[in-house]
Structure 1
Amino acid sequence: MLFEDTKYLDYKFPEPQYLGAKYVHRGWIAQFIPECVCTVLDAFSGSQSIAYMFKQLGKKVITNDFLSFNNSIGKALIENPNNKLDSSDVDILFSNNDNPIQFNLIEDLYSNLFFLAEEAAFADSFRSNVHKLSNQYKQALALTVMCRSMTRKVTMGHFAHTQALAYASDPIRVKRNRSLIRPLKDIFLDLLPEYNAAVFDNAKENVSYNKNILDLLPKLKNVDLVYFDPPYCNSHADYQSFYHLLETYVEYWKDKRFVNGTKRYEPKRYSGFDKNGEAVSNLQLMFERATHIPVWLVSYNDRSYPDIETMVSLIKPYRNVKVERKTYSTGRGGKGSVAGSSEILLVCTMK
């Protein structure tokens, strides 16, 4: 599919380190977007790589994720038209923690688990200064880059294991990824130019939501296409367990319990899509609530629950469905993307 407006394609989305991210599938997905589409909804935006692709294509983008740290990426790179972090902003972020009683959560919870004590204290100090930035977009950008810096510090880029410091003491692992032993401050400074360069204005009023999609869908009007990339049950669907530290950092919880060896928060946010017992009924409800949107693109995987045949049967009452398939030759991790499995795109059009 050719698009008339390609002037935004030179901007580069910072490559994510996120289970199930569709970053590598952007070109494949883009070919199924009708050229007449003006406004798009990315319903489960995660890393925001597909929402960013829509923005590059000159579309008005409505992006949504029920987790706050993903919404911060949306605020920073999708909704934000032109706000970047300059040297004075960095000076503010790197200034001392003037409220160590209020901002000590990361040091209290994660010292000697994911970070050495001084690194955890730096993360708290940084977080204490985010609100001093001049607007919500700079604040979101600061949180986005720091969250990405934290994932760089942890082997596998997630927080569902307790081996972070052991891995950082392993010379072989450090040789493969020196970020394991680099200060968060240095990683942040290395990443910041890449994120600043990714900020651009596509002359549309884009918006990033932080909602459960079942609640948001009925409230949206004049959307031409929705992209659904729901959690794939049986394939790393519980993102809150993998990325709990990032959500804790952005929300800076004061009313949660922190449980198990990884100090994951409880109670978790309600998804409705990450458990086998709820997935089918909520997928059906989601499709019912999307009937006012003409075109649906649904990403899926052939090793997930429910199976592809069930997904097609859920969609058929509302739309014609064509199944597009892309087979993995090597494993990528997350969402069933192992060698031999197939990435599926269900292209759903009006009857």
Structure 2
Amino acid sequence: MLFDDTKYLDYKFPEPQYLGAKYIHRGWIAQFIPDKANNVLDAFSGSQSIAYMFKQLGKKVITNDFLNCNNLIGKALIENKQYTLNKEDLEILFSENSNPEVFNLMGKLFANLFFLPEEAAFADSFRSNVNRLNNKYKEALALSVMCRSMTRKVTMGHFAHTQALVYAADPARIKRNRSLVRPLKDIFEELLPEYNAAVFDNSKDNKSYNKNILDLLPQLTDIDLAYFDPPYCNSHADYQSFYHLLETYVEYWKDKQFVNGIKRYEPKRYSGFDKNSETLSNLQLMFERANHIPTWIVSYNDRSYPDINTMIEMITPYRQVKIERKKYNTGRGGKGSVAGSSEVLLICTMK
């Protein structure tokens, strides 16, 4: 059984649309979580689906992602114990733009690129009203649902291409995905009940961080298990290029340059795990800084850089390693999940 017999089983994580999300693997991963691991870290949380699984298991969860759009999902669904969005909140969020001279970034950058002008204007107006909720968890929830709504309107669910409106004018694509032409407001209202229903209190003080994991690890104490799912180099490792629009939206930057055809922000945040030239040294540093955490589970893919043997060589000075594999029988998009490749778990325990 996926979560054995827990009282949090009935809560459901809203299905993500996120490159590399381990949502489909959560039952497999759950098999390898030690029963005695009470305090857990999800170091590269992404969609937050694995952090949510830990919460369902009754663990105290520390979740982290260096992109704030992902951290906000953690605030909304992992850290948040009780706050949901009600009718009065929606009246605030859907009201007119409270400061159109400031909140016009989506219209300036992304109108006629990813969204029609009226949709970009709605997104700006919504963003202008988020802080009027005066509650950090409601604000995080509102932004998380809006970000998910925007990915629903874009074929492939990311923003590293310039074909969004071309696809939205293609009857064949519209037939497969009506959300391409649906208003953002309608999609938001459809998704919100799923997110509201996913909020629960597991009687633990969970915490979501927005940090580089190399900086966060030395600050953490009393962690029993660390789950590491770093970006797969050679397979969609540059998440800022794929989700730049969402990060621009939640941060609402006014001091960035916006470059190339997709209007990606520049300079990018430093990841340390998205370039082959940097990832080896930073993985090594990550393992060194996690040495105070007894058990690690490392998700990886056998078509990634560095290869699995190199990963094992880096880990063995600190932990003994057991390998578990799950083969992809069909492709799921992306070079890291093609048919014939394998998702790999490195189960790392004290020697």
TM-score past 0.5 threshold: yes
Structure 1 partner of 2:126: 126
Aligned Cα RMSD in Å? Answer: 1.0
1:2/1:35 contact within 8 Å kept? no
What corresponds to 1:208 in structure 2? 208
1:323 match: secondary structure: strand
Residue 2 of structure 1, CA deviation: 8.5
Asked whether the equivalents of residues 319 and 350 of structure 1 are also in contact (C-alpha less than 8 Å), the reply is yes
**Secondary structure class of the residue paired with 1:344:** strand
Please name the residue that 1:74 is paired with: 74
**In the alignment, what sits opposite 2:268?**
268
Task: Determine the C-alpha separation between the residues in 2 that align with 1:179 and 1:4.
Answer: 36
**How do 1:107-256 residues align onto structure 2 when only pairs under 5 Å count?**
107-256=107-256
Q: How far off is 1:110 after superposition?
A: 0.4
AA aligned opposite 2:324: E
Deviation at 1:271, TM superposition (A): 0.2
Check the 8 A contact 1:20/1:335 in 2, yes or no.
no
Equivalent in the alignment of 1:28: 28
Secondary structure of the residue that 2:337 maps to in structure 1? Answer: coil
Aligned to 1:105: 105
Aligned mates of 2:26, 2:3 — CA distance in 1: 14
Secondary structure of 1:92 counterpart: helix
Match of 1:97, SS? coil
Q: Deviations over 1:112-153 (max 9, x none)?
A: 000000000000000000000031000000000000000000
**Partner amino acid for 1:139?**
E
How far apart, in 2, do the equivalents of 1:27 and 1:234 lie?
Answer: 26
**Aligned pairs (5 A) from 1:286-297:** 286-297=286-297
Q: CA, structure 1 residues 206+335, in 2 after alignment: closer, same or farther (shift >3 Å)? A: farther
| Alpha-carbon offset, residue 98 of structure 1 | 1.9
1:47 maps to: 47
Measured after TM superposition, the shift of residue 5 of structure 1 is 5.5
**How far apart, in 2, do the equivalents of 1:204 and 1:134 lie?**
24
Q: Which moved more, 1:5-14 or 1:266-275?
A: 5-14
> Take 1:3 and 1:11, find their aligned partners in 2: how far apart are those partners?
11
- For 1:337, the equivalent position in structure 2 comes to 337
Q: Secondary structure at the match of 1:336?
A: helix
Please report how far the alpha carbon of residue 332 of structure 1 lies from its aligned counterpart in structure 2 after TM superposition: 1.0
| Equivalenced residues, count | 351
Residue 333 (structure 1) shift? 1.8
> TM (normalized to structure 1)?
0.99
In 2, Cα distance between equivalents of 1:317 and 1:175: 54
Mapped contact 1:20–1:333 kept (Cα < 8 A): no
2-structure distance, mates of 1:106, 1:195:
24
In structure 2, what residue type is equivalent to 1:255? D
Could you list the per-position Cα deviations for residues 181-208 of structure 1 after superposition, in whole angstroms to 9, with x for gaps in the alignment? 0000000000000000000000000000
Give per-residue Cα distances to partners, 1:256-294, cap 9 Å, x unaligned: 000000000000000000000000000000000000000
Q: 1:62 to 1:48 in 2, by over 3 A?
A: same
Does the residue aligned with 2:71 lie in a helix, a strand or coil? helix
1:300 is paired with a residue of what secondary structure? strand
Corresponding residue for 2:348?
348
Aligned residue for 1:86?
A: 86
AA matched with 1:102: V
- Following the alignment from structure 1 to structure 2, what is the Cα–Cα distance between the partners of residues 76 and 335? 31
Extract structure 1 runs of 4+ deviating beyond 2 A: 1-5
Q: Deviations over 1:75-121 (max 9, x none)?
A: 00000001000000000000000210100000000000000000000
Q: Secondary structure at the match of 1:17?
A: coil
The whole-number CA distance in structure 2 between the counterparts of 1:10 and 1:319 is 36
TM-score when normalising by structure 2: 0.99
CA distance in 2, matches of 1:282, 1:306: 12
CA pair 327-125 structure 1, distance change in 2 beyond 3 A: same
Residue correspondence of structure 1 range 4-23 to structure 2 within 5 A? 6-23=6-23
